[in-house]
Chain A
Amino acid sequence: MEISVIASSSIDGGIGSWDLKTGKEQLRFKTCASPAHGLTAVGEKFIAASQLRNASASSGSIFFWSWNKPQVEVRSFPVESIKALAANTEGTYIVGGGTSGDIYLWEVATGKLLKKWHGHYRSVTCLVFSGDDSLLVSGSQDGSVRVWSLIRLFDDFQRQQGNTLYEHNFNEHTMSVTDIVIDYGGCNAMIVSASEDRTCKVWSLSKGKLLRNIIFPSAINALSLDPGGFVFYAGSRDSKIYIGAINATSDYGTQVLGSVSEESKAVTSLAYCADGNLLISGSEDGNICVWDPKSRRPVRTFGHGKGPVNNIQVVRKTIVANSNKTQSSWKRHGSLLPPPLEKYERSGEESMDGIVIVDPPPSADVSVYSSFLSADLINEQVKELQQQGSAATEIEMERLKLEYKKSLQMNDQWQKNYENLLEVVMEEQNGVSN
């Protein structure tokens, strides 16, 4: 298992990647200027990032990089500029939120646009999958946070009935939503959203309503959750990382974990690494800082570049032991990366050709196991031979006995006939001789 931190910026500084354990800088992926929440690792397969482009461009663009090459490998051009991008854990679907408020769902393996729906009135700012990838939470510039059940989006019957597509619609934020996190609570999860209106709000997924409103001294740019579900970290514009308590009784934040820079450059992104319990912050001054949340001390820094870091993600990659094998399997599969994402939804009968491409499990290279059977066979056959007196043979025996008796009787009969005949013959002979 290798844990990397990847980070991107809004001006073209590429995507930096570092090994979290050793602190070594890894490959820098070139040509990337992405909006906040526009960078995502797609499963363990590759990196995808939406791109900021000049306003005159008619379409948006999303680039893919494979893990071992710095150049952009696949370029897709969706119909509009994509702000937020997210992939599910397995890396089978990518969702993107456009400036118009539309949300797009692509199938990674084929690049097909499976669904497009109008999510918000204004630009989508962030997208988050729930823990089991069945729900999608989206935040928008218009201040609304909405929860979508992906399964229901595909339910054409309900769609036709004109039901609302979303499960919950949270409208309490007065300004643009900047970040959303969802905790490990499953169906009872807490959703925390941050906004430019200087509040963070805690929502209950199961009840679908606001639980807490926590006010901060400054607008919050980024959020991250402690897995214990007790506190969350909020990166603010005043360069501080605050600690908010989810079940606090006070409306106001809060303690400070630390400050990322003396020149009060804003904290722009946060990530939590469960392996070792580390908090990772990115700031406007281009630095990435790793914190120990317990001691509230920074333990490591990475320099990304001059531009503000606006995306950080922690990626776990399983290291395949035999590198030769993976390379040969890449050769076998041809290109490693999937085709570009399509622009339009296909319509009608051929919209889905009904094929789903399933990746092999990562452990498929484990050598096959076949067991020895001789010993079992011997016991089985011995048992079979032992059962000589079993029902089948007994029945056979009885049958034979019966047959034997019958033939004995038959024999007697013949004997008698013969004797009778002999008698007749003898008598006749006697008669003749007499």
Chain B
Amino acid sequence: MASFERFDDMYDSRLKSKILRNLLSDNVPNEKQPLTNFLSLSKVVSTISTHKLLSESIDQKLQAKSKSAVDDWVERLLALISSDMPDKCWVGICLMGVTCQECSSDRFFSSYSVWFNSLLSLIKNPGSSRIVRVASCTSISDLLTRLSRFSNTKKDAVSHAAKVILPIIKLLDEESSEALWEGILHLLSTIVILFPAAVHSNYDKVEAAIASKIFSAKTSPNMLKKFAHFLALLPKANKGDASSWSLMMQKLLISINVHLNNFFQGLEEETIGKKAIQRLAPPGKDSPLPLGGQNGGLDDAAWNSEQLIVSRVSALMLCSSTMLTSSHKSKLNIPVRSLLSLVERVLAVNGSLPRSMSPFMTGIQQELVCAELPTLHSSALELLVATIKSIRSQLLPYAASVVSLISSYFRKCLLPELRIKLYSITKTLLKSMGVGMAMQLAQEVVRNASLDLDPTIVEESDAVSSKTLSLTKGALLQACSKKRKHSNNSVVEAENSAFEVGVPHNHSSSPISLKIAALEALETLLTIGGALGSDSWRERVDNLLMTTATNACEGRWANAETYHCLPNKSTTDLVEFQLAALRAFLASLVSPSRVRPAFLAEGLELFRTGKCQEEMKIAGFCAHALMSLEVVIHPRALPLDGLPSISSQFPESNSLASQRHNTPNLNKLNDIAHNGDDLCNRWQADVDVLPSNPEIQRTIDTTLHLQETKRMKLGNDLATVVSLSVQNHSDMVASENVQRADVPEKVTESTEESLGHGSDKDVMVSKEEEDLAVKDSLMEEATIGKKRESLGESDDDSIPSLKADDYLSSDSGIES
């Protein structure tokens, strides 16, 4: 019968019900058959989603068949769910979750309530096993997710979601399995995000349950993070407005500060802690309940464990950071002052004892505190990043104090992990505050990045090439003798062990991730404020980045294959490092500076070699770099004529123009002007928007009406006047347009005469004389390159409009 049926191709919709039935009979267990192969279950899921097996056909003919197949499927699942065997029950629940996602909307809408209740009963049933409960949580979450896409059942959906909360909170308290906690958290987050109203009535209970988990000593660090994330979501469920957000933030900050008061006892003045609490909960006003209700775990035995306090504080800080950075729908009142002073407070404690305090602390205590401080500092820095990200440009009134905090901490900080965070803070600051921030931070970034990228201790094998050595010598900031010695030793080492290349041998050398962070910070600095450092740090940075990029790439590209045999973290690290180095190098070449980029030649060479590399990321970036550098080599000034036509946008404009102005020749001009390539045109034509040559100006002068010239001379105290502003010269105005094609007879008669017959040298000399008066050039770096080519002389950058010279000389050359 059906087995002899043929199908059109793999898209034939008759296939669907067929495959589904096969799956059902072969791979899904039933009441009698036990589950034998777990792997087949994955196969079932992937087949269902690939072929969309559960979507029922709308085709009249096939409808019945596909409907009955899915009916059977659902029936089997419900039977499995009610089975006593945990493994069968588990299979049923999991597949039910998939069904919620895949089935047709009609089917889902008609039967979600039944499915929901059967799943919920499993959660409530105290006899259910762990794996069954985890699966039920996930399946209910998927069911609710699907339900949220139906707009007409909002009320019903909320009441369904509300039913889940109490049972799972109870489970959270009773059970101690992490997998189950995870499932519960996922379900809770789904409800908070999709149906916040469902949590309203039980908000306090949920908060208390989560807080107690965060304060519990038994929670693993991984789970702590997940609980903290969920706690950050929770304010959305409590009215969802700014005040509930602020309340949660206030509770968190108070809790953090209370913990710190305990932890920092003997390490800081006690008044600091008191002040912090006072700012958060002013004495006159009602202070909020502590986090997690009345007995928010603030007075338990854990007070004595430094490790526990720090992991709690870190979790709470993570929660605040998440709250700051996650999206929100209403205005937020962010307590910037409290957040910043909290960060400042944590960073100020470095484990040393103030003199007055020393008798109150034992060595062991200090040891325990110091062991935990790096974690605490790291969390505080995260919090700082989150604060900056959340308020961006509105950091303005506080920016100066943040800068001084960062700079002073940068100087003291030695741990690579923390330094990476500091770099990321600097990047965020630069990106969100712009040029003004670059002015403030430049020195600090350059100083630190130079230390971390110190090429003497980069990678030992690079010391082999004498070229590198000679290059680095110039760039060295301070190379201590110890480092030197090491790099000499490594010459031998590197020859013997090619595989050790790129692996830092001693801890004095900074790890690759730190170098990447430093490079990124420099890149950002150059992007935002590259032109600001021309007088001071720019040269040093350019040099450093060139050295780093060449070192990172030299010799290594040849080895790429060797590395590919070992697909592990270190090779991807290496690629990342090369990329970061190349990026930063490109930034240093493209970022505006007063002179021609010193390492342009090296850069072009490097990127050209890089373009041919096997590693696609690097090859791709090098291609992009070459494109960016093309603009540096061939600078363009964009004329107006390239603008798209707007006649479609303003159809009436023609009539308007003709009404107001009788400029028939303008239309003609426009037609001619459209011949595409600006750059090419300008190479061919003698162009500038304005007449740029005194010779030309003089000749044009004579063509002006004497009266007009006189008037202008009187008015402006001019020696020579080029004013094309006279109305009856409008045709001449047009002729000065940038295009070659329309150089009309009127003007060119005179100008070209003077050009063609006068000697080229004269023109150029007089030009230079005039331009010397104008010291600075707008196009200097761009034109210097060309200048060298065309003139063969290269004194300084005092010739601003050399481009015009080039055009002139080449032009007149052709003409003569």
Taking Cβ atoms with an 8 Å cutoff, the residues of A that contact B are 21, 88, 90, 92-93, 107, 114, 130-135, 149-152, 154-158, 167, 185-188, 190, 198, 202, 204-207, 209-212, 215-218, 226, 228-231, 240, 242-243, 245-250, 252-256, 258-259, 276-278, 290, 292-301, 332-333, 352-361, 364-365, 368, 370-375, 377-379, 381-382, 385-386
Contact = CB atoms under 8 A, between A and B. Distances in A.
Interface of B: 38-39, 41-42, 45, 49, 90, 94, 96-98, 100-101, 131, 134-135, 138-139, 141-142, 145-146, 148, 183, 186, 189-190, 193-194, 241, 279, 327-338, 390-400, 403-404, 433-440, 528-532, 534, 592, 594, 637-641, 643-646, 649-650, 652-653, 656-657, 660-661, 663, 666-667, 670, 688-693, 697, 712, 715-716, 718, 720-725, 727, 730, 733, 736, 767, 770-771, 774, 776-779, 800-801, 804
Given A299-B653, A333-B331, A382-B41, A151 B436 contact: yes
Nearest to B653: A299
A247 B331 contact: no
A364 B724 contact: no
A145 B337 CA distance: 34
A242 B732 CA distance: 15
B640 A155 contact: no
A355 B328 contact: no
Contact of A259 (B434, B650, B716, B727): B727
Given A355-B337, A378-B42, 19 more contacts: A114-B396, A187-B438, A204-B776, A217-B716, A228-B638, A231-B689, A249-B693, A255-B725, A297-B661, A297-B663, A353-B337, A354-B279, A354-B336, A355-B335, A355-B336, A358-B390, A373-B141, A375-B97, A377-B183
Given A187-B528, A293-B643, A352 B337 contact: yes
Given A230-B689, A292-B650, A379-B45, A250 B138 contact: no
B394 A248 contact: no
Contacts of A258: 661
A377 B723 contact: no
A92 to B, nearest CB: 5
Contacts of A256: 724-725, 727, 730, 733
Tell which of B189, B646, B693 has the most Cβ of chain A within 10 Å.
Answer: B646
A356 B398 CA distance: 10
Nearest to B99: A374
Dominant secondary structure at the B interface: helix
Contacts of A229: 637-638
Nearest to A290: B650
Contact of B94 (A114, A259, A290, A381): A381
B332 A357 contact: yes
B196 to A, nearest CB: 10
Contacts of A212: 774, 778
Contacts of B639: 228, 230
A91 to B, nearest CB: 10
B400 A364 contact: no
A130 B637 contact: no
A134 B400 contact: no
B434 A243 contact: no
B532 A187 contact: yes
B646 A278 contact: yes
6 contacts: A114-B397, A156-B400, A217-B716, A368-B194, A372-B100, A386-B38
Contact of B399 (A154, A255, A277): A154
A357 B331 contact: yes
Contacts of B434: 130-135
A378 B439 contact: no
A379 B720 CA distance: 83
B688 A151 contact: no
Nearest to A214: B690
Given A93-B396, A130-B434, A365 B801 contact: no
A374 B139 contact: yes
Contacts of B97: 372-375, 377-378
Tell which of B241, B390, B650 has the most Cβ of chain A within 10 Å.
Answer: B650
A295 B670 contact: yes
Contacts of B644: 277
A162 to B, nearest CB: 16
Tell which of B396, B639, B667 has the most Cβ of chain A within 10 Å.
Answer: B396
Shortest 5 CB-CB contacts between residues of A and residues of B? A354-B337, A374-B97, A132-B434, A134-B436, A228-B638
Contacts of A370: 145, 148, 189-190, 193-194
A248 B638 contact: no
A352 B723 contact: no
B308 to A, nearest CB: 27
Contacts of B333: 355-357
B726 to A, nearest CB: 9
B327 A361 contact: yes
Contacts of B594: 207
A294 B656 contact: no
Tell which of A90, A186, A277 has the most Cβ of chain B within 10 Å.
Answer: A186
A356 B716 contact: no
Contacts of B778: 190, 202, 211-212, 246-247
A154 B400 contact: yes
B505 to A, nearest CB: 33
A205 B594 CA distance: 12
B689 A255 contact: yes
A382 B335 contact: no
B776 A209 contact: yes
Contacts of A385: 38
Contacts of B331: 333, 357-360
A354 B403 CA distance: 17
A372 B139 CA distance: 9
A215 B653 contact: no
B300 to A, nearest CB: 31
Contacts of B779: 247
Contacts of A92: 393-394
B332 to A, nearest CB: 5
B28 to A, nearest CB: 12
Contacts of A252: 716, 718, 720-723
Nearest to A354: B337
A405 to B, nearest CB: 32
Nearest to B801: A249
A360 B551 CA distance: 46
B786 to A, nearest CB: 15
Contact of A132 (B42, B90, B435): B435
A201 to B, nearest CB: 12
A231 B400 contact: no
Contacts of A149: 435-436, 439-440
A358 B193 CA distance: 21
B715 A217 contact: yes
Nearest to B669: A295
B770 A151 contact: no
A198 B45 CA distance: 78
B142 A358 contact: no
Contact of B98 (A226, A371, A374): A374
B80 to A, nearest CB: 14
A93 B641 CA distance: 37
B90 to A, nearest CB: 8
Nearest to A363: B327
A126 to B, nearest CB: 19
Given A217-B712, A356-B334, A365-B329, A206 B531 contact: yes
Contacts of B530: 187-188
A158 B347 CA distance: 23
B397 A187 contact: no
A152 B767 CA distance: 42
Contacts of B653: 292, 297-300
A132 B269 CA distance: 40
A133 B398 CA distance: 16
A151 B394 contact: no
Contacts of B660: 298
B646 to A, nearest CB: 5
A250 B94 contact: no
Nearest to A198: B716
